[in-house]
Chains A and B, each alone.
Chain A
């Protein structure tokens, strides 16, 4: 039929013809006309001019015709909002039709008409449908609430639909329950703080019951929802796991992955010595392996997730190496992922097999795959020491093939092997040197140059080799240039007599003829080192290098934990947190695995670093401002691993008293991306705060990721808690070209307008350039506000300390701090926390300290430490006058 339609162009005449047909009395003719209209719409022709005529056809008892008209409405209502009102009456009527199919159809379509004006008319019909006797209508209405919420959230809340939706979770029909759960999860996702999915043991129980009865898709909704729940204790966790495990036998891969997500998360809470823990581990492996016989796209998703699971719990799949062997007809994306997992699973027990496989892969035709296979051999050598020799000989075999990209890849990994096992495999250097001329990729050239420089004393013609590279110095990439510079300096230090000319040549090339600041800097450093103190130069340049670690590309643990909570989703496929690629999700809670044996939710929150707004009970209610401050800055570092750098203030605490501070005289804050390029038309801003010589500095790194040049930068702050304001204009003098990065340091003053922010250390910033104005917010470490004149007289301290009302005092434990009192006090002094007094009581060292904030508030602290006990107790307090300030 459509092929006929293709010849059918919508011109004025035809529209007229269709109009006539649509208004025809004959039902059949009408229907055919609507079909023609839809056909034109499908091929992308504009038939919106027929809106009134099509809507007129809406009142029909022919279901098929009705569906077509509804379809038309969905497409064009947005472009004709005024006329869409015409349809409202029919919708309302259809919602009371005796046929549930029509009732459901009406309520479903209604939600898809995203016209704000219509929504209020839809509330009554929706309310009825939510209580409809037919489950088919109810399940459709449940989804409609989510649709309506998307268009007009306030309306949905005012009308109480959310409560009705919550009631539907207890519906007798599993399909309705599933859709209600899906709708609630969807709404909750866009409103992270709404606490809609108030999950408690009762509701969890209901969900688990529905899980057994609803469709495969419903099971996924419910499992995904369950994954957001944090069980109270290990027993509850175990009972949920027990009821979720049967889902691992479901034929739908998506159900299996969602079940794996729930199990991986809840397993975290189970004690490892529990029998059930072991059983669960065993149960997880077979379904994961079976996922590899699904469709390739699903395999890909599964493999990306297995990659995470293997990093989190390597024991699950350690015996399953063979299933990750690559099949010749696997799509390339599956092959590359399998290879990655093979390396992760490689161990002494299976290395022989793995190597044989990798060698086989290295002779295939697919260039990317072959490269990765060669690289994998090198990684095996580094990972499994016993296999290093075999790996090296395999690599040498591969070099003999003379296949250009194989040779280059092999040389790159051999460099890494040399780093890991120095002075062991130098005999292969001769073979490597034979292939010098065929290297055309920067990475391979750089690797080769490094090898020549590192082992210059054993290569007779090292100077000639390096000299040959020097000829085209300016055409090389930076990587090669830097490597060449270092290698020649190494050579000079090893054989000073013959190579003086060479080293001078390279130094002048690097320092005088190069535009690259990195290269110039390095050149100057070498030059000065060599000219002032050759012995020191030797010590620096030829210093012993630290060994490289076995696992090079592990995902950072906190990110891994977050990704485990997102198994099956895009985040787990990209191996990026959702905030990195979903707009509007910044500030959304980062999901974390529950800590084992977490008894009280408060502790969990602090430990998770995920809920700064939930004030833990140790904070006195009265001094909320101070409470915030104390809580934020000195929350104890936990045993579950360092909190994510993005999650806020815990880092401050770490820096102050954890092992982090070392001997720095100013505080360096972890650089974060404040404004992603995606949100700011190509301008990416990241930065840190620091305090240098008594001045607070905001260190900004601006990167232009757009295609055009950016100029006219300016910056402004919103009012904030400590009155921070730029002390001068943003110094970006040169225009910022595409792909350029510039670092700017902006001194800050604390004399700006003051407004209390939540969280306290929040700072809202506006940056302007020639393109637009962009806004972002960031958080600064409170510690940068500690001023240098924070020393207090002992007597004053004592008096103040006594003055502090009990309510304004709070206590923490800081764990695992292996410092004695003097070292701690020295370190703290570096960050302007001054020790006023020290005394020793019953083997405990007590340090009394004072901090003065830039706005004049004093914070006093008492630090108790016991020799041999790495846990410190800190009591903090401030006098009332501090708060009267506000």
Chain B
């Protein structure tokens, strides 16, 4: 059904620690893993599933480690990967950093965890908060009297222990959005969507029952109310604590939250995002001599708003040298190790337009290999500004002891993680003796629209009504 054994290898393919769950695959098979991977890397065609004879390796890489699961059955591959990532998550929570050292230093705990995480190839308890209740780093803590029945493990509510107490009962809600956007070299937005997450930091006593209200269009349509702006969520994913069937029937988000920090839900919104900062660029490459870059950035948001920490990252050829910059505002620098020119503007008011010029020298001998054309990226944050318009309308907290609890909410829009944006541009190439070379003053206008990575920060926390 799933993994027969799980291995943690270092980059040289040496087994740091392993656990044989089913015993139907020879443990020595792992010796084939790295050679296989090397062959694939040489061909430039790596694949997360490899096989040798009738043994299949499913692997992921984390820092300087390979986590590999072996199987000889028709296993559920998505389950195996989800499990391997869960293992990374649990180990990271235990050792702060998961790497070769931390595995070697904590092998006893790692064995204990591997024993508890999976049994005979079936993933079991993978919630690190619950695991920490009965598998602790200091073995001495775990004396006989202390090892209580891990009720939570088998409870229907397997993510929250009973008997949690706080003096002050509070919930912090972070709404974090990042945007996927693709703009082609002609300045057309090819695709855009918003990926948002709602994160909770719960500091509540007992077993509270929470209900979260959003300005979800489907919900309003269902209840027939119209309270102004609503948001259509294309797809929603919930933490296992949320009652999915309840959401399916009446769009109510009700749950008993895990203690501390957790990701309650994520959603995807397909609306067309208006590019908040419009960027045009001209990049000219004169073979064997130099590259000239002209970037114009224009704030396309309200005049009253200000974008902070704007960062425009322009890729340059890897063999460029002697950078020269001229900017109308902010400052620019060359980051040779990343082959980037980075232009930073601390504060960018709406409606304004700024320019940067850069030129780089190129060696007279051109290198043979082709270079890719990585996109231009921009980071910035705009306070008091929401992209999707999603709002937390209320958070109901009910606990049988009847305490008063305070919910706080803030909205953050950021990018990073797996949401990437593609911004393409055309590169004007000139060769010496190229007819276009002499006419280069006739500037081609190449527009590269750059939709920046948005950092919307709502610095104020709003007190929310606890009832509808």
- Would you give the shortest CB distance from A37 to chain B, in whole angstroms? 12
**Does A527 lie at the interface of the complex (its beta carbon under 8 Å from any beta carbon of B)?**
no
In the complex, the answer to whether B237 meets A220 with C-beta atoms within 8 Å is: no
Is the pair A63, B147 in contact by a Cβ cutoff of 8 Å?
Answer: yes
Residue A101, interface by CB 8 Å: yes
Interface hit among B148-156, B164-172, B298-306: B148-156
Is the CB–CB distance between B46 and A570 below 8 Å? Answer: no
Q: Is the CB of A332 within 8 A of B105?
A: no
Contact B268 A286 (CB under 8 A): yes
Cβ–Cβ contact A217 & B78, under 8 A: no
The residues in A between 43 and 87 inclusive whose CB is less than 8 angstroms from any CB of B are 44, 61-64, 67-68, 71, 74
Query: B residues within 8 A CB of A182?
Result: 1, 122
Chain A 314-329, CB-CB to B under 8 Å as 1, else 0, gives 0000000011010111
On whether the beta carbons of B154 and A173 are closer than 8 Å, the reply is yes
Interface string of A253-292 (1 = CB under 8 A from B): 1100110000000000000000000000000001101100
The reply to whether A189 and B46 form a contact with Cβ atoms under 8 Å apart is no
Contacts of B420 in A (CB 8 A): 327-329
The answer to whether B81 touches A301 (Cβ under 8 A) is yes
A460 → chain B closest CB, angstroms: 31
Contact residues in B for A363 (Cβ distance below 8 Å): 373
A498 at the interface (CB under 8 A from B): no
Contacts of B238 in A (CB 8 A): 249-251
- Chain B interface: which of A239-247, A379-387, A502-510, A604-612? A239-247
In Å, the complex CA distance between A582 and B24 comes to 12
- Given that A63-B144, A143-B120, A251-B263 are known contacts, is A568 also in contact with B244, CB under 8 Å in the complex? no
Count of B interface residues, CB-CB < 8 Å: 97
Contact: A301 with B78, CB < 8 Å?
Answer: yes
In the bound complex, CA of A695 to CA of B150 (Å): 73
Cβ contact within 8 Å between B158 and A215: yes
Tell yes or no: A39 within 8 A of B by CB. Answer: yes
Q: B113-148: which have CB < 8 Å to A?
A: 115, 119-126, 134, 139, 142-144, 147
Q: Is the CB of A150 within 8 A of B82?
A: no
Of B15, B119, B373, B375, the residue contacting A108 (CB under 8 A) is: B119
**Shortest Cβ distance from A244 into chain B, in angstroms?**
10
Whether B79 pairs with A186 at a CB distance below 8 angstroms is no
Which of chain B's residues have a CB closer than 8 A to the CB of A286? 234-235, 268
B443, chain A: closest CB distance, angstroms: 23
Residue of B nearest to A70 (CB): B115
**A571: which B residues are within 8 A, CB to CB?**
74
A134 to B154, CA, bound (A): 9
A35 within 8 A of B: yes
Contact of B112 with A331 in the complex, beta carbons under 8 Å: no
Looking at the assembled complex, report how far the CB atom of A149 sits from the nearest CB atom of chain B, in whole angstroms: 10
A571: nearest chain-B partner, CB-CB:
B74
Given known contacts A38-B107, A322-B190, is B247 in contact with A257 (CB within 8 Å)? no
- Once bound together, how far apart are the Cα atoms of A568 and B245, in whole Å? 23
Whether A42 is near chain B, meaning CB under 8 Å from some CB there, is yes
What is the distance, in angstroms, from B332's C-beta to the closest C-beta of chain A? 23
A664 sits at the interface (CB 8 A): no
List, in ascending order, chain B residues with CB within 8 A of A71's CB. 111, 115
Determine the chain A residues whose CB is within 8 A of the CB of B231 once the complex forms. none
Structural contact, B419 and A293, CB atoms closer than 8 A: yes
**CB of B87 within 8 A of chain A?**
no
A573 at the interface (CB under 8 A from B): yes
B370's closest neighbor in chain A, by CB?
A: A365
Compute how far the CA of A680 lies from the CA of B433 in the bound complex, rounded to whole angstroms.
66
A772 touches B (CB below 8 Å):
no
- For the complex formed, measure the closest distance between the CB of A566 and the CB atoms of chain B, giving whole angstroms: 7
Closest to B146 in A: A63
- Which residue on A lies nearest to B109, using beta carbons? A64
A157 vs chain B, min Cβ distance (A): 18
Q: A186-B1, A217-B122, A293-B419 are in contact. Are A246 and B74 (CB under 8 A)?
A: no
Nearest-CB distance from B264 to chain A (Å)?
9
Chain B window 25-58, contacts with chain A (Cβ cutoff 8 Å), 1 for yes, 0 for no: 0000000000000000000111111010110101
> Contact at B237–A333, with CB atoms within 8 Å?
no
Q: Which residues of A contact B370 (CB under 8 A)?
A: 365, 403
Q: Which of A224, A297, A357 contacts B48 (CB 8 A)?
A: A297
Chain B stretch 229-246: residues in CB contact (< 8 A) with chain A:
234-240, 243-245
A352 to chain B, nearest CB (A): 11
- Is B23 an interface residue, CB under 8 A from the partner? yes
Q: Is A176's CB within 8 Å of the partner chain B?
A: yes
Least distance between B30 CB and chain A CB atoms (Å): 12
Number of A-B contacts (CB under 8 A): 271
B17 in contact (CB, < 8 A): yes
Q: Which residues of B contact A214 (CB under 8 A)?
A: 156
Residues 205-246 of A, flagged 1 when their CB comes within 8 A of B and 0 if not, give: 000000011111100110010000000000000000001011
Complex alpha-carbon distance, A550 and B239, angstroms: 43
A568 with B76: in contact, given A175-B158, A254-B82 (CB under 8 Å)? yes
Q: Are A136 and B150 in contact (CB under 8 A)?
A: yes
Report yes or no: B119 in contact with A333, Cβ–Cβ below 8 A.
no
The answer, among B17, B60, B266, B422, for a CB contact under 8 Å with A295, is: B60
On chain B, the residues within 8 Å of A174 by CB distance are: 156
User: Contacts A249-B237, A254-B82, A571-B74; is A64 near B191 (CB within 8 Å)?
Assistant: no
In the complex, A611 Cα to B147 Cα: how many Å?
Answer: 52
Is B207 an interface residue when CB atoms closer than 8 A count as contact? no
- The reply to whether the CB of A378 lies closer than 8 angstroms to some CB of chain B is no
Query: A39 vs B106: C-alpha distance in the bound complex, in angstroms?
Result: 10
Query: A111: CB under 8 A from chain B?
Result: yes
Distance A568 CA – B243 CA, assembled complex (angstroms): 24
B44 touching A368, Cβ below 8 Å:
yes
* A150-200 CB contacts (< 8 Å) to partner B: 150, 173-176, 179, 182-183, 185-186, 189
Interface centre among B78, B244, B422 (most CB of A within 10 A): B78
Give the residue name and chain of the A residue nearest to B138 (CB): A64
| A220 / chain B contacts, CB cutoff of 8 Å | 76, 79
A181 to chain B, nearest CB (A): 10
**How many angstroms from the CA of A179 to the CA of B1 in the assembled complex?**
12
Taking each of B15, B71, B125, B237, which has the highest tally of chain A beta carbons within 10 Å of its own beta carbon?
B237
A573 to B53, CA, bound (A): 17
Structural contact, A289 and B235, CB atoms closer than 8 A: yes
Q: CA of A134 to CA of B78 in the docked complex: distance in angstroms?
A: 31
List A residues 474-493 near B (Cβ within 8 Å). Answer: none
Q: How far is the CB of A742 from chain B (nearest CB, A)?
A: 25
Q: In the complex, A35 Cα to B107 Cα: how many Å? A: 9
Contact A38 B111 (CB under 8 A): yes
Note all chain B residues with C-beta closer than 8 A to A678: 53-54
CB closest chain-A residue, reference B80:
A254
Query: How many Å from the CB of B242 to the closest CB on chain A?
Result: 8
B144 → A minimal CB distance (Å): 5
Q: Which residues of B contact A300 (CB under 8 A)?
A: 47-49
* Bound: A325/B424 CA distance, A: 13
Query: In the complex, what residues of A have CB within 8 A of residue B375's CB?
Result: 328
Shortest Cβ gap from A825 to chain B (Å): 46
Q: Considering the chains assembled together, what is the distance between the CA atoms of A250 and B79 in angstroms?
A: 13
- CB–CB A570/B74 < 8 A: yes
Closest to A61 in B: B144
Asked whether B74 lies within 8 Å of A101 as measured between CB atoms, the reply is: no
Q: Give chain A residues whose Cβ lies under 8 Å from the Cβ of B434.
A: none
- Can you show 6 pairs from A to B with CB atoms below 8 A apart? A63-B147, A134-B149, A247-B244, A249-B244, A360-B424, A569-B77
Extra 15 A-B pairs, beta carbons < 8 Å, given A143-B119, A214-B156: A2-B105, A68-B108, A74-B20, A99-B149, A101-B147, A112-B20, A175-B153, A217-B123, A220-B79, A258-B78, A295-B60, A295-B81, A301-B78, A325-B191, A574-B49
B residues whose Cβ falls under 8 Å from a Cβ of A: 1, 15-17, 20-24, 44-49, 51, 53-54, 56, 58, 60, 71-79, 81-85, 104-105, 107-108, 111-112, 115, 119-126, 134, 139, 142-144, 147, 149-150, 153-154, 156, 158, 180, 182, 184, 190-191, 193, 195, 234-240, 243-245, 247-248, 263, 265-266, 268, 369-375, 418-420, 422, 424
Q: Which 6 pairs from chain A and chain B are nearest by CB?
A: A286-B235, A246-B244, A322-B191, A578-B74, A135-B154, A246-B248
